[in-house]
A and B are shown apart, each in its own frame.
Chain A
């Protein structure tokens, strides 16, 4: 149930909170928890949408009303009743309705790339989606109301007590900041977490192609014939940091490659003329990966340069 927070190479965002879950098929999957900022962004968008919908409705009703009912007291009461009910249902069911329909997403969550999932990675239950949004009464609407009227919670109490009660309610709004899984009260009551579900693209396999090419070319470039000792200088962590570097596309990539290539050459005691950085790093990556993967198949994982086998 814990979230770890450690940088790792690859497409996982820097400083992401990762939560390891196990799918119903028994495969462990790391999930990236949504940050409080992302969730606030989604919430803000959803609230904006609700507000705009009500605004549009009142405009339409107003336009219709000018000709039809605004001067007729009975009709305008009906119109007011209708508006009151729409507001109630919107406030109560907007989130739940979308999350049930769109498998844990509201328009705001969809826009921010977030979704609700079962904390134990089971099926996402309708009940869970209903109850996590019922708690918004306490976490969202009441604090919003109190922000405008801090004494409103206990109108007949002395000011000190009323303000204390308001502060206490605000605590619930800030609950996600106070626990490591970023759960709000609704998530706790429903057993859900909110995760980031970004699309990831499968890029070219740098090492595989490089490796095949070198194998095919029957060693015309003896420059890159690394010894086992030279390949044992690094582990998986360094390999994947190198992969990140080789996949970079920014203008600073060249300088970074230069520095890294020099560092590697020094570490593996490279003899002779310094070769082209790009070709050198690619060749070293391919050879290192081939060696580490071979060890992996034999059950030996060399995590990083410090680990002994």
Chain B
């Protein structure tokens, strides 16, 4: 006669060791190091160990055995359910589908973000138009660098048509790289600050609008509006849109922190957060494009017609891309996801919530 739990262990432990060896191998050199047969065995052994664990819990009191099986089950869970998309396919899916879809999913907060920026703009514009002295409260001296109500109209005009940062390509590239990294950082910050109930994000968006409004009012008062927008918008379409998107992403997570309703707060936050993160990662590419346009194109091309062509082209591109890209594949992705969830033996409710795109 033998202890049942001992017999049970003797019969199964070879399978456990087999799984353990596979996992150690994956840990060391990745899933790609497994043969086709081993890849096929992995989920089979995983299920075998899970059922061993269930049985062990109901018949064995050997703490070491239970600990071992729990540890092994956890490790094979990590192995099977870790993020396994190859970087290249993530990138492709990201550009073609996930980024524009995530932006559409956050249309509400993005709209709020745009409105807050517009409100800042309108406020500063109206106040500066009524009394130019207000300009100094909206635009700091460093930012204005001489472009203030005291400057003459021709000086203000000259800034718009002079490449100020050296004409050689090295200097322009450095300027573009600086603009890109700096603006992308500001965008990410605007997003991350959303975590504090969205308030710092609102403030950042509003002050961003104020600066723009101040500038616009100053140039408007000298009859230079068309020239200013030709100078600002070729990169501004992309850059402002990216800032508004980052702000929208920040407001979305801020909203999830404050207005969690049915869902538990953390679950709602995670669902919104993953979508918002995709949006912010996409804007890094937008800031890159904006940096190139501002740092190089604007310094080289002073023809107002060409400038406005770029404005229209970028606006049309972003509109079409963000509104339509990946639309057709959305239902397909959704269906595939639902099939996968149905096929899974028992998907926890929480898991289902979290994977909704």
9-residue interface stretch from B108-116, B150-158, B233-241, B278-286 = B278-286
B residues 63-88 in Cβ contact with A at 8 Å? 63-68, 70-75, 77-79, 81-85, 87
Chain A stretch 146-160: residues in CB contact (< 8 A) with chain B: 156
CB 8 Å contact bits of B245-270 with A (1 = contact, 0 = none)? 00000000100000000001011011
Contact with A124, one of B6, B81, B168 (Cβ below 8 angstroms): B81
Q: How far is the CB of B28 from the nearest CB of chain A, in Å?
A: 11
**Least CB distance, A236 to chain B, in whole angstroms:** 6
Given contacts A75-B170, A77-B171, A85-B177, contact A189 B6 (CB under 8 A): no
A131-B278 Cα distance, complex, nearest whole Å: 7
Interface string of B327-354 (1 = CB under 8 A from A): 0000000000000000011111011011
Tell me whether A134 and B65 are in contact (CB under 8 A). no
A130 at the interface (CB under 8 A from B): yes
Near A by CB (< 8 A), chain B positions 302-316 give none
Q: In the bound complex, how far is the Cα of B85 from the Cα of A124, in angstroms?
A: 10
Main secondary structure of the interface of B (DSSP, over half): helix
Q: Is B67's CB under 8 angstroms from A12's CB? A: yes
Does B299 lie at the interface of the complex (its beta carbon under 8 Å from any beta carbon of A)?
no
B11 at the interface (CB under 8 A from A): no
Q: Is the CB of A74 within 8 A of B4?
A: no
Complex: how many Å from CA A275 to CA B322?
A: 81
Say yes or no: is A278 at the interface (Cβ < 8 Å to chain B).
no
Tell me, yes or no, whether A215 is within 8 Å of chain B by CB.
yes
- Asked whether A197 and B178 contact (CB < 8 A) given A120-B351, A127-B274, A290-B3, the answer is no
Residue A293 contacts which of B60, B73, B168 (CB distance < 8 angstroms)? B60
- The residues of A that contact B44 with a CB separation of less than 8 Å are none
B184 close to chain A: CB less than 8 A: yes
- Whether A208 sits at the interface, judged by CB under 8 Å, is yes
Closest partner residue, chain B, to A27 (CB atom): B50
Chain A positions within 8 Å of B104 at CB level: none
Which chain B residues lie closer than 8 Å to A85 at the CB level? 177, 181
Known: A23-B73, A120-B348, A297-B59. A137 touches B277 (CB 8 A): no
In the bound complex, do residue B188 and residue A134 qualify as a contact, i.e. CB atoms below 8 Å apart? Answer: yes
Instruction: Indicate whether B90 reaches chain A with its CB closer than 8 angstroms.
Output: yes
Instruction: Decide yes or no: A25 and B83 within 8 Å by CB, A128-B274, A200-B72, A202-B65 being known contacts.
Output: no
Query: A184-195, CB under 8 A of B: which get 1 and which 0?
Result: 010011111001
Please report the C-alpha to C-alpha distance between residue A72 and residue B78 in the assembled complex, in whole angstroms: 52
Q: Are A10 and B64 in contact (CB under 8 A)?
A: yes
Whether A1 and B16, one on each chain, are in contact in the complex, defined by CB atoms closer than 8 angstroms, is: no
Residues of A75-126 at the interface with B, using a CB-CB cut-off of 8 Å, are 75, 77-78, 80-81, 84-85, 87-88, 92, 97, 99-101, 103-104, 115, 117-126
- Chain B nearest CB, measured from A292 CB (Å): 6
- Taken together as a complex, chains A and B put the C-alpha atoms of A195 and B71 apart, in Å, by 12
B170 touches A81 (CB 8 A): yes
- Return B67 CB to nearest CB of chain A, in Å: 5
A222 CA to B170 CA in the complex, in Å?
Answer: 93
- The contact string, 1 if C-beta is below 8 Å from chain A, for chain B 36-75, is 0000000000010010011000111111111110111111
A101, A129, A138: which has the most chain B beta carbons within 10 Å? A138
List B contacts of A286 (CB < 8 A).
3
Residues in B whose Cβ lies below 8 Å from that of A239: 61
A35 to B13, CA, bound (A): 32
Residues on A with C-beta less than 8 A from B270 are 119, 128, 188-192
A81 near B177: Cβ-Cβ < 8 Å: yes
Q: How far is the CA of A157 from the CA of B172 in the complex (A)?
A: 33
Determine the distance from Cα of A87 to Cα of B67 in the docked complex, in whole angstroms: 43
A289 CB within 8 Å of chain B:
yes
> Closest approach, in angstroms, between the C-beta of B269 and any C-beta of chain A?
6
- Say yes or no: B70 contacts A29, CB within 8 Å: yes
- Beyond A84-B174, A125-B355, A131-B274, 16 additional contacts (C-beta under 8 Å) are A27-B53, A88-B184, A92-B284, A100-B83, A104-B78, A119-B270, A122-B351, A123-B82, A125-B83, A126-B83, A190-B274, A197-B78, A202-B13, A207-B62, A208-B7, A212-B3
Between-chain CB contacts (< 8 Å), 20 pairs:
A24-B346, A29-B77, A81-B174, A120-B348, A121-B348, A122-B350, A122-B355, A125-B274, A131-B273, A131-B276, A131-B278, A134-B191, A138-B193, A185-B192, A189-B273, A189-B277, A195-B74, A202-B65, A208-B7, A286-B3
Binding site for A on B (CB under 8 A): 1-7, 9, 13, 16-17, 47, 50, 53-54, 58-68, 70-75, 77-79, 81-85, 87, 90, 98, 140, 168, 170-171, 173-174, 177-178, 180-181, 184-185, 188-189, 191-193, 195-196, 253, 264, 266-267, 269-271, 273-278, 280-281, 284, 344-348, 350-351, 353-355
Residues of A within 8 A of B (CB): 1, 9-12, 22-27, 29-31, 74-75, 77-78, 80-81, 84-85, 87-88, 92, 97, 99-101, 103-104, 115, 117-132, 134-135, 137-139, 142, 156, 168, 172, 183, 185, 188-192, 195, 197-203, 205-209, 211-212, 215, 236, 239-240, 243-244, 247, 286, 289-290, 292-293, 296-297
